[in-house]
Amino acid sequence: MTVLFGGTLAAQEPGWHKFGEGRTQKAPPPLPENLTLAAGTWITIRVDEPLSSDHNQTEDFFTATLVQPSVANGFVVARRGQIVGGRVTEAVKAGRGKGASRLGLEITEISLVDGQQLPVKTQSISRNAKVVSPEMVLTFRLEAPLNISTERSAGAFQPVTREDYEQPTLYRRGPPAPPPPTW
């Protein structure tokens, strides 16, 4: 907001501060040479393709996108929408008298903000289901810490902000307006 005082313009920033003093922004924390995504971190993905115990086999590869950013030491290491790779760990078809279908999945690699693709080890999730549909959201737990070097691309790793988590608002269009009356 800009306010006119005695013929001069003064910029005002939101929030409380002493009259005549501008707000100072905090300097971002220094970026360490290595960031660590801790073991136990939850990684939530949206599956990009249909997976089925009838069509997929153990060791088949699949892709997905991150639903939430991955944050290590206060820095975003992978943004929402980045690609994640995984594999099918179990694909059991249900047969007559053989029980339910099962499909097991795990994440095997993740794309980072600086373009690196690093291998990861997550817990395998097993579903008593025949199909995992595209757009289905699944959550995996990181089993081993992921160490990330920032030396070659320090500018890519930025401190996490609220905007990293905010989803764009989608507005549903209503029915079209009725045509104007003709007289």
Q: What are the structural domain ranges in the chain?
A: 35-162
Per-residue model confidence as pLDDT tens digits over 107-140: 999 999 999 999 999 998 887 877 889 989 999 9
Segment 93-96 long-range contacts (CB within 8 Å, at least 24 positions apart)? 93/53, 93/54, 94/53, 94/130
Query: Of 108, 174, 91, nearest to 146 (Cα)?
Result: 108
pLDDT band at 20 (very low <50, low <70, confident <90, very high): low
As a whole number of angstroms, the distance between CA 144 and CA 48 comes to 25
Domain 35-162 fold: Lipocalin (2.40.128)
The residue count of the chain comes to 183
The pTM is what?
0.72
pLDDT band at 5 (very low <50, low <70, confident <90, very high): very low
pLDDT for the residue 169:
60
pLDDT for the residue 119:
96
On the 0-12 / 13-18 / 19+ scale of CB atoms within 10 A, 152 is exposed
